[in-house]
Chain A
Amino acid sequence: MDFLGILSQTAWWILAPETIAYALATVGLAVHFGFGGLLNFGQAGFMLLGGYGYAISILSLHWPWWAGILVGIGASVIFAVILGIPTLRLRADYLAIATIALAEALRLVVQSTLLDSVTNSADGLGGYHESFRASNPFPQGTYGFGPWTYNETELWIRVFGLILLGLAIWGVWALMRSPWGRVLKGIREDEDAVRALGKNVFAYKMQSLIIGGVLGTLGGVVLVLPSAVVPQVYLPSLTFFLWTILLLGGAATIWGPALGTVIFWLVYSFLGLFLPGMVNAGWIHGVTPSQVGIIRFVLVGVALMLIVIYRPQGILGDKRELSFNARK
C-alpha cells in the first residue's frame, strides 16, 4: 500500500472546497444550535438554496455570479422566516422535525420533473462557471506546493471560500461578544428568564435562524463553485454530517466548526483510501473495496453517538456551556 500517496491525497482535503463549504455551513449551525439552542435539522436545505439560487440566477436569468449569491441569500432568508414562524414558538423538537421535513420537501421539489426547465430535475445543473472564473484576480499559472498545488481557478475558489469563512468566523465571534449574542446565549440557557427581562425572544431566535441559514447558504455556494449542482447531495445525511462535525469541534465555540470540519474530512478521506487499500492488499477478506467504503458512514453514526454521550461539549467546548439541557 502506498502510504505516502494516501497521506498526500488526504492532506489535499484540508483546503478542499468541500471542506471550506462544510465549515461555513457548520458555523451557521453553531449560530443555530451552539449559541441559540435551535435544533435545525434542515441545514442541507439552506445549502441547497445556495447552490440552486446561484446556479439558476446565472443559467436562467443570466445574472453575474455575485448576484447569484445574493439570490441564494434572499431565498434562504425567506426560507428561514417560513420555517421559523410556525416552529420557533414551539418546543425544540418540533423545530427539528419541521426543518428536516421542509428541507426534504425542497429537495424533492427541485428533483422532481415539475420544474424541469429550471432545475433540470434529477440531473442537476452545470456550466455556470464562466462569470465567476472571469472575475479571477489571479493570472494563469500554477500555485502552491505538494498536495496543495492548484491552477488559477482552483486557487481562486479556495481563496474566495476562505475569505467567506474568515468573515463568517470573525462575524460570529463579534456577534457573540456583543449584547445581541449575550441575549441569544441567555435564550439558550433559559428562555423564560430572558423573556421576563423584556426581550423579544421570538425575534432573537428568528434572527439567529436567518444568520445561521445564510451562512449555510454561503457554504452551499462554495460547494457548487468547483463543479456542479447535484440534488442528491442535499440529503438529510448531509445535515447530520454537519451535526457530527459541529459536536466534534464544539457546538458553542468559535473555532470548533472549522476544527471539526478539518478532522472530519481528514479521517473520512483517509479511511476512503486506506480501507479499500487494505482490501486490495489482501488484509481484509470477503468484502469489495467499494463495500468497505460504506463503513465510513457507519463510523460517522457511531462517532456522533459517542460524542453526544461522552463529550457533548466537543473538543474545544466548555462543559458549562452546553446547548443540550437548555430547553425542555
Chain B
Amino acid sequence: MVTAQGFWALMKRPALLLFAMLIASLALASLAVSPAHADETNTDKYDYIFSGNVKYNDKPLAGVQILVDGGGYSAEVLTDDKGHWEVGVPKKEKYDVTLVESTLPKGVIVAPDERITISDKGATVEAEFGLTKEKSVNFFLGEGVRKVTPFYERVIGSAINGLNFGLMLALASIGLSLIYGTTGISIFSHAEMVTLGAVTTLFFSVFLGWPIWLGIPLALIFSAVVGYGQDVLLWKPLRKRGLSVVQMMIVSIGFSLALRYLFQFFIGGGTTLLPTDPSTTKKLNIFGIIDLSLVDMVSMAISIVVLIAVAYWLLYTKNGKATRAINDNASLSAASGIDVDRVIRLIWILGTVLAGLSGILWAYFRPGIKWDMGWQLLLLIFAAVVLGGLGTAFGALIGSIIIGLLVELTPLWLSADIKYVGALLVLILVLLFRPQGLLGKKERVG
C-alpha cells in the first residue's frame, strides 16, 4: 500500500514518478494486448482470415503463440482449449505465419519440412490465400529438442566465416591496391578478373569435365595470361598515349561492363556450382564450437599461404622492392634504373592471378558462380582498400579482414540482405575521418 508519505516522496522526485507512471502504463498496455483467451485476433476487423489447429498426438494444445506478419501488418494469437486459432489480415497477400516454439510443451517441436524455416522466434511458413478469403495453416508437430545455438557460438562461427571471407577479399584487394599504387588507376575491371578465375574454372572443370585439381591451376594460368595481355594490349598503349588517370579509370569501367556482359552471354544469368565432393563441404565440428568444412579449411590455408608469399615477395625480393619503390615515387625509381614498365607488367599479372584465385575460392564460399559475382565484390574491395589506405598492400590486407568480419557479423543483429551496407558506410566514415586510411600516409590524399 502506498502511504501518503510515500506518494509525496514520489512527487518530489519527478524522475521516479515518471518511471512509476511508465511501469504502470506498460503493465496496462501488456494487459490490453494479451487477453487470456485470444484465439481470435482481428477477425471481425478484416475479411481475410488465417486459421489453424495446433495438435500433438491428436491432443489439442492450448496457449501456443502464433504470429502473423507481412505487408507491414503483424498480429499475434494464442490457441484456445481446442488448439484453435484465427487471425484476420487486411490484404490478400503473402504472410509469414510463425509458431513460437518456446510456447510448446517441453520435448515437442515443429517437424522439419521443406516449407518451414526455423529462426529464433520459431517455425515460419509462408501462407497465401487461394480463391477464398480463408486459409488454414497447420503445423505438424513432432518429438524432439530444438538445439538453440548459444549467441557466443554464433558470434564465433560468423567471425570464422568473416575471417575466411576477409582473406579471400584480401587476395583481390592487394592486387587492386598494387595496381593503384604503381599506375594510379582505380581499376573497376578488377571485379571481372575475380569472376574470370571462377568462370574459367567452370569452363575447364564443368564444360570440359576435367578434374578440379587440374581445372584450378589452368584457370590461374589463364588469369596470368589475361593479366599480361591486358597490360600489353590495353593499359600500356593507353599510358603511352598519355591518357589521364581519370580517363583510364573510365576505360576500366567500360572494360568491366563489356566483360561482365560477355560472361552473362556465355554462362547465362543463373548460378552454377563447381563440382564438389559432398564429404568436403560437410561441416566438421572442431573444439566443440567451430563448424568448418574441409573446403573452408583448405580455402583459408591457401589464402594465408598465398598472402604470406606475396608479403615475402614485396618485402625481400628485388621485384617486390622495386614495386614498393615505384609505389613511392615512379619517376625517381625510373631514374635510379628500375624498369618501371616491366614491374608494372608484373603487377598486372600478379594482381590478375590473385583476383582469379579469390574468385575461385569465393565460388566455393558463396557457393556458386554467377556472371556478376565479381561486381558484387568490387565495392567491398574498394571499401577494404580505402579503409587500409589506397595503394598500400598491407593496408589492403587489414582492411579486407575488417570488412570481411563486418559483413559476416552484421546478420547477427540486422537483416542479412543489408550485410554489405555496413561495409559501404565504413567507406564513407573513413573518408570523413581518416581519408588516408589506416596505413596510408597523409600526403597521398591531395
Contacts and interface: CB of A to CB of B under 8 A. Distances in A.
List of 6 A-B pairs having minimum Cβ-Cβ separation, nearest first: A301-B258, A117-B72, A301-B257, A304-B254, A305-B254, A297-B261
Interface string A82-103: 1001110011111011101110
Most-contacted residue by chain B among A92, A111, A308 (CB, 10 A): A308
B265 A294 contact: yes
B425 interface: yes
B186 interface: yes
A134 interface: no
Interface in A62-116: 82, 85-87, 90-94, 96-98, 100-102, 104-105, 108-109, 111-114, 116
Nearest to B264: A294
A102 B431 contact: no
B386 A97 contact: yes
A114 B415 contact: yes
A85 B428 CA distance: 10
A325 interface: yes
A97 B243 CA distance: 20
Given A101-B424, A305-B255, 11 more contacts: A82-B428, A93-B186, A97-B382, A98-B428, A102-B424, A108-B420, A240-B257, A300-B257, A305-B251, A305-B258, A324-B246
Interface string A295-308: 10111111111101
A244 B255 CA distance: 12
A25 interface: no
21 contacts: A85-B432, A93-B249, A101-B382, A112-B415, A112-B418, A112-B421, A117-B71, A294-B264, A295-B265, A298-B261, A301-B254, A303-B254, A304-B253, A305-B251, A305-B254, A305-B258, A308-B243, A308-B247, A324-B246, A328-B244, A328-B446
A308 B250 contact: yes
Interface in B392-446: 414-415, 417-418, 420-421, 424-425, 427-428, 431-432, 435, 445-446
A61 interface: no
B198 to A, nearest CB: 19
B245 interface: yes
A35 to B, nearest CB: 15
Majority-rule SS of B interface residues: helix
A312 B243 CA distance: 10
Interface of B: 71-72, 186, 238, 241, 243-247, 249-251, 253-262, 264-265, 268, 375, 379, 382-383, 386, 414-415, 417-418, 420-421, 424-425, 427-428, 431-432, 435, 445-446
A289 B414 CA distance: 41
A194 to B, nearest CB: 16
Contacts of A105: 420-421, 424-425
Contacts of A211: none
Majority-rule SS of A interface residues: helix
A254 interface: no
A109 B260 CA distance: 24
